[in-house]
A and B are shown apart, each in its own frame.
Chain A
Amino acid sequence: MPAQAVLPQRRADLLVCEECDAVYPRRALAPADLLRCRRCGATLGRGHWLGVDGQLALTVAALVVFAIGNLAPIVTLELSGKRSEATLFQAMRLTWESDEHLVALLAGATAFVFPLVVIALRLWVLVPLRATRRPAGLVPALRALRWVMRWSMVEVFMLGVLIAVVRSAGISSVVLGPGIFAFGALTLLLTSIQACGLHGLWDVAEAAPG
Chain B
Amino acid sequence: MSTSYPSAPALGLAGCECCGLVLSIDRRAGTWRCPRCDFRLHRRKPQSLQRTWAFLVSAALLYVPANLLPVMSTSNVFGHDDHTLVGGILELWKSGSWELATIVFVASIAVPLLKIAALALLSATAQRRSRWRQRERAGLYRLVETVGHWSMLDVFVVVLLVGMVHFGVLASVEPEAGLLAFGAVVVATMLASASFDPRLIWPDGDEHA
Query: Do A and B bind?
Result: yes
Closest Cβ of chain A: how far from B57's Cβ, in Å? Answer: 20
B113: Cβ under 8 A from any A Cβ: no
Interface string of A136-177 (1 = CB under 8 A from B): 000100110010001101001101111110111011100000
In the complex, the answer to whether B15 meets A18 with C-beta atoms within 8 Å is yes
Given known A95-B159, A98-B162, contact A23–B175 (CB-CB < 8 A): no
The docked-state distance in angstroms from the alpha carbon of A80 to that of B165 is: 13
* Chain A minimum-CB-distance residue to B43: A21
Which residues of chain B from 154 to 196 have any CB-CB distance to chain A below 8 Å in the complex?
A: 154-167, 170-171, 174-177, 179-180, 183, 187, 190, 194
* Chain A minimum-CB-distance residue to B17: A18
Given known A23-B11, A168-B165, contact A95–B175 (CB-CB < 8 A): yes
Given known A98-B162, A107-B159, A150-B194, contact A39–B5 (CB-CB < 8 A): yes
A28: Cβ under 8 A from any B Cβ: no
Which residues of B lie under 8 Å from residue A102 when comparing CB positions? 180, 183
In the complex, the answer to whether B199 meets A106 with C-beta atoms within 8 Å is no
Given known A40-B138, A202-B21, contact A159–B166 (CB-CB < 8 A): no
In the complex, the answer to whether B162 meets A21 with C-beta atoms within 8 Å is no
Q: How many residues of B contact A (CB 8 A)?
A: 82
In the complex, the answer to whether A157 meets B156 with C-beta atoms within 8 Å is yes
The docked-state distance in angstroms from the alpha carbon of A150 to that of B150 is: 12
In the complex, the answer to whether B149 meets A172 with C-beta atoms within 8 Å is no
Which residues of chain B from 95 to 150 have any CB-CB distance to chain A below 8 Å in the complex?
A: 95, 97, 100, 103-104, 134-135, 138-139, 141-142, 149-150
The docked-state distance in angstroms from the alpha carbon of A103 to that of B190 is: 16
Closest Cβ of chain B: how far from A160's Cβ, in Å? Answer: 3
In the complex, the answer to whether A21 meets B156 with C-beta atoms within 8 Å is no
Given known A2-B29, A6-B29, contact A161–B160 (CB-CB < 8 A): yes
* Chain A minimum-CB-distance residue to B30: A1
Most buried by B among A15, A111, A202: A202
Additional pairs, 5, CB under 8 Å, beyond known A18-B20, A93-B163, A171-B74: A9-B25, A11-B23, A20-B138, A42-B198, A94-B163
Cβ contacts A to B, 7 pairs, < 8 Å: A2-B28, A40-B135, A42-B142, A84-B167, A100-B176, A160-B155, A164-B160
Q: Which residues of B does A touch, CB under 8 Å?
A: 2, 5-9, 11, 13-15, 17-26, 28-30, 32, 34-39, 41, 74, 76, 88, 91-92, 95, 97, 100, 103-104, 134-135, 138-139, 141-142, 149-150, 152-167, 170-171, 174-177, 179-180, 183, 187, 190, 194, 198-199, 201-202, 205
